[in-house]
């Protein structure tokens, strides 16, 4: 059974990495780096883990080192945030194309300019199509839990893809919570050593990173697509196994009140807590038919699970914590609109952006959103279908 300790999000991620028997961590050590790798480097310096820690001069190099190490068969971790993820951009695609099951934690933070170090999801949304499995944590406990699961998902023989665990910058990375951590032996049992399929070995030489002509390139990319689609099943299996071990069962999404909610709000990350708290309050004190839907797994997009979760909903408000300048909807809103077309869903879709650069997300705002949704469910016209939450309600 687990123990309860106080940890900040950064520390919880580092603690999980410490327990996962990671062979190598490579990271750029200063801003926009987080305390995650600082703690890991302390574990290494204190001799608590025998992980190889490679300190490099940029995030581009950090992920490149991780790719090389992963190809050599090691279990590999790195972490970054905002501009750091942007600088890794081209290597993100190399990591997924080379099928390296690297795990990375991203402290979701705004991109410059203007300079801002606070939370939003622009960093991950900017690299949305990099081919990594992408999960979002709601709180510090989830960040810890997802890191351990992420290795198991990434390294699964049917997946073999890098996986990113997103946790909201500052809101989660720098806030201390009561976290239930597993015993080291339990993590060991849950996560056996990595079994690479192909690896760099002088005794049996192979070529990695080869060139593919037009008649082959698309086959490799479509094969990669097959793998990320298979990860859907793996995420659910791993979540269930983790649930048996800890009592905290994970899945692709988490719904509240959806059995009869007319209005639901869909969100990712720490805001999901605020939304669910508000929904519960409105249901319990005012008997309002509202619900909350938290998306844990953003890529691959859990289409079937979303379709069944949204079966009864009349109005869905999708919250995007990233601006997609000039686009019709935000990234998550666009995915839901596509889902509606593909699966013939017919609820009313409102898609608002919020919380850019650490802008506050309060229960009062959530309440106004739900009330707006309820009016729309009764046939009222919303002030707009898109926009910034602060300006809409």
Partner 1 sequence: MSKYDVVMGAVITKPRTSLENKTGSWRTRRPVVDVEKCVNCLLCWIYCPDSAIIRLEDHIAINYDYCKGCGICAEECPRKAITMVEEG
Which spans of this chain sit near partner 1 (rule: CB under 8 A)? 97-100, 158, 160, 197-198, 205-210, 212, 216, 219-220, 222-223, 226-227
* 40's tokens: 């890991």
* Residue 76 DSSP SS3: strand
* Helix (H) / strand (E) containing 165: strand 163-168
**Shortest spacing between CB 222 and partner 1, in angstroms:** 6
Cβ distance to partner 1 smaller for residue 206 or 327: 206
CB of 101 to partner 1, least distance (A): 11
Q: Give residues with Cβ within 8 angstroms of 133, minimum separation 6.
A: 150, 153, 154, 159, 161, 162, 163, 164, 228, 231, 235, 297, 299, 300
Q: Which is nearer to partner 1, 3 or 203 (CB)?
A: 203
Query: By C-beta, is 216 or 286 nearer to partner 1?
Result: 216
Whole-angstrom Cα distance, residue 101 to residue 90? 17
* Strand ordering across the sheet containing 315-320: 253-256, 290-295, 263-267, 315-320, 348-353, 386-388
CA distance 229 to 91: 21
At its nearest, how many Å lie between partner 1 and the CB of residue 93?
12
Minimum gap (Å) between residue 228 Cβ and partner 1 = 13
Order of strands, edge to edge, in the sheet holding 24-27?
52-55, 24-27, 76-81, 103-108, 163-168, 133-136, 297-299
Q: Around Cβ 19, how many Cβ atoms within 10 Å?
A: 22
User: Smaller CB distance to partner 1: residue 1 or 210?
Assistant: 210
Q: Which is nearer to partner 1, 100 or 234 (CB)?
A: 100
Task: Give CA–CA dist 266/336, Å, rounded.
Answer: 10
Residue 20 or 100 having the CB closest to partner 1: 100
In the bound state with partner 1, the residue whose beta carbon lies nearer, of 99 and 276, is 99
The pair of three-digit structure tokens given for residue 107, joined into one six-digit string: 């402290």
According to DSSP, the β-strands at 176-181 and 3-8 are: antiparallel
In terms of CB distance, is 229 or 327 closer to partner 1?
229
Q: What is the nearest approach in angstroms of partner 1 to the Cβ of residue 207?
A: 4
Q: How far is the CB of 97 from partner 1 (least distance, A)?
A: 7
Alpha carbons 313 and 328: distance in angstroms, whole number: 22
Q: Closest CB to partner 1 among 209 and 383?
A: 209
Which 3 state secondary structure label does DSSP give 321? coil
Least Å distance between CB 90 and partner 1?
Answer: 17
Minimum distance between the CB of residue 210 and partner 1, rounded to whole angstroms? 5
Q: Which residues, 6+ apart, have CB-to-CB distance to 72 below 8 Å? A: 199, 200
CB of 226 to partner 1, least distance (A): 6
Least Å from the CB of residue 63 to partner 1? 16
Bridge-based pairing state of the strands 297-299 and 133-136: antiparallel
> Within 13 Å, how many C-alpha atoms sit on residue 54's CB side?
21
Q: What is the DSSP letter of 356?
A: G
Residue among 93 and 277 whose Cβ is closer to partner 1: 93
């Amino acid at each position: 059974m687990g123990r309860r300790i106080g940890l900040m999000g950064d520390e919880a991620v580092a603690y999980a990495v410490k327990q996962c028997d990671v062979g190598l961590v490579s990271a750029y050590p200063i801003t926009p780096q987080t305390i995650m790798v600082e703690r890991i480097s302390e574990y290494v310096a204190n001799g608590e883990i025998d992980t190889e820690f490679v300190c490099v001069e940029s995030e581009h190099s950090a992920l490149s080192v991780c790719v090389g190490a992963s190809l050599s068969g090691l279990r590999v971790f790195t972490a970054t945030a905002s501009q750091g993820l942007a600088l890794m951009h081209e290597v993100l695609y190399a990591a997924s194309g080379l099928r390296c099951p690297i795990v990375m934690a991203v402290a979701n933070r705004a991109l410059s300019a203007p300079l801002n170090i606070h939370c939003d999801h622009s960093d991950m949304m900017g690299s949305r199509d990099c081919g990594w499995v992408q999960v979002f944590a709601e709180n510090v406990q989830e960040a810890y839990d997802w890191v351990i699961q992420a290795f198991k998902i990434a390294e699964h023989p049917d997946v073999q893809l890098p996986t990113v665990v997103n946790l909201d910058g500052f809101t989660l990375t720098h806030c201390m919570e009561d976290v239930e951590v597993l015993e080291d032996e339990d993590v060991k049992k849950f996560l056996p050593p990595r079994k690479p399929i192909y690896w760099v070995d002088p005794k049996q030489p192979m070529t990695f990173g080869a060139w593919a002509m037009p008649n082959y390139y698309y086959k490799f990319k479509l094969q990669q697509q097959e793998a990320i689609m298979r990860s859907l099943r793996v995420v659910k299996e791993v979540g269930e196994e983790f649930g048996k071990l800890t009592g905290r069962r994970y899945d692709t999404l988490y719904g509240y009140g959806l059995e009869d909610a007319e209005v639901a709000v869909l969100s990712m990350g720490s805001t999901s807590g605020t939304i669910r708290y508000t929904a519960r309050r409105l249901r319990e004190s005012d008997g309002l038919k509202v619900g909350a839907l938290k998306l844990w797994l953003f890529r691959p997009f859990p289409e079937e699970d979303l379709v069944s979760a949204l079966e009864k909903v009349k109005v869905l408000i999708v919250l995007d914590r990233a601006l997609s300048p000039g686009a019709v909807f935000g990234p998550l809103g666009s995915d839901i609109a596509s889902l509606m077309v593909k699966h013939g869903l017919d609820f009313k879709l409102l898609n608002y952006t919020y919380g850019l650069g650490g802008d506050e997300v309060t229960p009062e705002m959530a309440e106004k959103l739900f009330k707006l949704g309820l009016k729309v469910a009764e046939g009222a016209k919303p002030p707009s279908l898109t926009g910034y939450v602060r300006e809409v309600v």
